[in-house]
Each structure stands twice: as structure tokens, then as C-alpha cells.
Amino acid sequence: MSKYRSAMDKIRVTPEMEERILKNIAKERSREPIKKTAFRRWARPVGGAMLGICAAAVVLFVYLPSMKEGDPSPINPKTSVAVNHSKKQAAAKESAGEQVSSIVSVEAESSSKKDVKQSKGIKARVASKEIAAKTKGIQMGAAIAMAKHILPPTNSQKDGNQEEAFGKSKVNAKQFGSESVHDQPLLAVNNIEATKKDTIAQPYGKRMMESSTENNQNTKLMPSEDGAKMAKVRTGEPSEQESSTPASVTSLGDGSGMSVMTVNPIKEMKDLAELKKEVDFKVMLPKQLPDGYAIRSIALYSGKMVQIRYSDGTNEILYRTESGSGDISGDYTEYEKTNLVKAGADSILMKGDQKLIKLATWTHDGYSYSLSFSAGIELEEALSLISSITVLDN
């Protein structure tokens, strides 16, 4: 092919051709000034920004309002509770006389006003329903107690008073099974399950139900002796897991305002001693950390998985262990390099780039382990860290 090359070498840009081309380019440029180039340069980012603004506007003005309508906001149920209260007060008027019922109606009005105020507050708390629900739980008991104190129950007003109290405590009367609460001191699990069915169609409710299904298996919602406080009572023996994890009151968000106790699966530990107390299995921990690394946080997930975050101020090492087998790292990055390294009888799956290890996962004695290195680590260093893992002894 040397002949082809020599033939092609004879094709050159001659000085005349060069002059012609430059002249033509200058002419072309005079026809299309810089404006066009400038426009093209800005057209894309400006167009992109406009599209973004349009999308944001659509979300703000179309999607969110529709979500609000579809969302089981506690506003409507509460308002309906207030209406129900009025109706019941009217019934009470007939049965118990005008004087008593007028007091009740004043209370009903005040409670409905409060409902509206509270519903506004709840609106603001839509983003953090769980936190709000905790507050609800606390307020619920207090408000019910207060209601009880203000309006001593009479035979004819008993139902109405309690419902008002529930209204004050931002909890829909429906959550207590309405009048059945008073007919039956204990609200059986079946009632809860029936309420659950209603909630399945609700997106938020469904999510909450999933997290609380297990907890409701052995629980009953019941009013306390004075009928004011509602508490979650276990029918069976509490498990160690739940006794060790903080519980919170969370709205189901199904429009009924149903509040249930949910168990936070993550429990932060102050130190290793607390961790050891909490777990009923042997915890294995690395003893020799790279220089500068110290424990930053300790967490127990669902009472099963231990997660310890080590940090040197900038980089982190995330250590996880749990009984069973499988990858518990939660790191699904596709790394450049994957190696199976033998360390004694164990095979450690090392992932990372050409030089450094970013993730190590392995199983040993029926436990899964993972170590994630945010900055990466040398293989030898990773192996020495893994070999230093021993039982937590203090």
C-alpha cells in the first residue's frame, strides 16, 4: 500500500486553495455574524432552564394539588368529625335536656374550631408525618384526659364527650371504632385489620401498614381505665427486639386518622457496651483500624444487623454484620475489578478499582460481613483489618 500512500501524498492543499478557502470562510462569516453562534450557544441552556421551570410549575400547580386531593389528609375526616359531633349533640339535646346539651354544643364548636386549627398544623407536617404522629400520640392522651376532666361523662353524653376529646387530640373518632369503643372496652385486632383493608388503596397508608402489620398481630388498642388514654397493649410477651427499639405513633394516613404504634427499625447506640446489651448474638468487630479512624456511629437495624461507621474526619469505613448469608453491604456499585481472595478458610469478595479495594464482603460462621471503604484501601490493609475482627468482649 506504499503506492497508495505516495499517490495520496500528492494530493495537497495548495497555496491558492488555502487562500480560496480562507476567503470563502471570511465571506461566509460575514453573512452569518456572531449572533447566530451566540444564539446557538445560549439556546440550549436557556431552553433547558425554561423546560425545568415549566416542569416545576406543573408539579406545583397540577401535581401537588391533585396529590392533596388524593392524599388522605386529616382535614376532611376531622371536619366530618366536627359535623358528626354536632349531629350527636343534637341527639343529646333531645335526650338530655337543653342545659347540658348547650354546654356540649359549646364544646363541640370549640373542638371543631380546634380541629380546623389543628388540621392547618397537620398540613404543615405532611412532610414529616411520623414526627407529627408522635406528637399526636402524646397530645391524644393529654387531650382526652383534659376532655374527660372538663366534661364529666353523663349517661347521655358519654359518647359525645369522648368523641370531642378525640377531636381535640387531633385523632379521628373513627380510629377508635366510633361508638363500638364504648360498647367494647377492647378494640380487637379484627377491627384493626378491617381498618387496614380500607387503607390498602391509599398509597401512604399502604406503606405504613406494611411497617406496622407485624406489630399489630398481637396488639389491641384499648382505652385505659378512665376511658381517656388510649394505649397499645400487647396480648403476648413482648419480643426482645421490640422492647429494645423505640416505638413511635404514626398515622396510617388513610383518611381515618388511625394512629398505630410503629417500631423504628434503626436504633442508634451510644457505645459498644450499649450495643452488646441490646443484641443477643455475638458481635464481631475489627480491632485494628487504619490510622486516624474512630467509631463515628453505631446502629442496630431491626435488632439483627449491626452497622458501625468509622471515620477519620474525611473518609469513612462502613462495617456491617448480620447472621445469615448474602451481601449485606447495600453497595450495588459495579466496580472495575472483582476478586475472590482467600483469607484462611474464608473467601472474601473484594471489589474496587485497579489499585484499591472499595468493598469487601464475606461470610464466616453463619454470619455475613461487609466493609465499605469510601476512599479505598490497599488489599493488604483490608486483609489485616478483616483478620483483626474478633468478638466484642466488653
Partner 1 sequence: MRTVLDVSLRTDETVVHALEVYGNTILRLSYSYLHNISDAEDILQETLLKLIRNQPAFESEEHQKAWLMRVAINLCKNKLKSSWFKTVAIPEHYEAEALSEEESDVLTAVNELPLKYREVVHLFYYEGYSTIEIASILDKKEATIRSLLHRARKQLEKSLKGACDFDE
- Residue ranges in contact with partner 1 by CB under 8 A: 1-8, 10-14, 17-18, 20-22, 24-25, 28-29, 32, 34, 36-37, 40
Nearer to partner 1, 25 or 106 (CB): 25
- Give 364-367's long-range contacts (Cβ < 8 A, gap of 24+): 364/284, 366/323, 366/324, 366/325, 367/284, 367/321, 367/322, 367/323, 367/324
Direct distance between the N- and C-terminal alpha carbons of the chain, in angstroms, rounded to an integer:
79
Encoded amino acid at 48, one letter: G
Residues sharing a CB contact under 8 Å with residue 79, sequence separation 6 or more, in sequence order: 112, 115, 116, 119
Nearer to partner 1, 17 or 51 (CB): 17
- CB of 20 vs partner 1, minimal distance in Å: 8
How many Cβ atoms from other residues are within 10 Å of residue 309's Cβ?
A: 15
CA distances from 357 to 217, 341, 371 (A): 44, 12, 10
Nearest CA to 350 out of 374, 326, 382 is that of 382
**In sequence order, what are the beta bridge partners of 230?**
223
Nearer to partner 1, 6 or 394 (CB): 6
- CB of 22 vs partner 1, minimal distance in Å: 7
- CB of 25 vs partner 1, minimal distance in Å: 6
Nearest CA to 310 out of 380, 393, 377 is that of 377
- CB of 33 vs partner 1, minimal distance in Å: 9
Nearer to partner 1, 2 or 155 (CB): 2
Residues sharing a CB contact under 8 Å with residue 134, sequence separation 6 or more, in sequence order: 248, 249, 250
Nearer to partner 1, 15 or 344 (CB): 15
Nearest CA to 298 out of 267, 265, 321, 344 is that of 267
CA distance 320 to 308: 6
Nearer to partner 1, 14 or 155 (CB): 14
- CB of 12 vs partner 1, minimal distance in Å: 6
Nearer to partner 1, 11 or 340 (CB): 11
- CB of 334 vs partner 1, minimal distance in Å: 22
- CB of 39 vs partner 1, minimal distance in Å: 11
Q: At what angle do helices 158-168 and 98-124 cross, to 10 degrees?
A: 20
- Give, for 338, the enclosing helix (H) or strand (E): strand 337-343
Nearer to partner 1, 28 or 69 (CB): 28
Q: Are 85 and 163 in contact (CB under 8 A)?
A: yes
- CB of 216 vs partner 1, minimal distance in Å: 58
Nearer to partner 1, 40 or 342 (CB): 40
Percent helix, strand and coil across the chain, each rounded to 5? 50, 20, 25
Nearer to partner 1, 16 or 291 (CB): 16
Outline where DSSP puts E strands in 264-336. 266-269, 284-286, 294-301, 305-311, 316-323
Place of cell 451481601: 327
Distance of CA 29 to the CA centre of its chain: 58
- CB of 23 vs partner 1, minimal distance in Å: 10
- CB of 16 vs partner 1, minimal distance in Å: 10
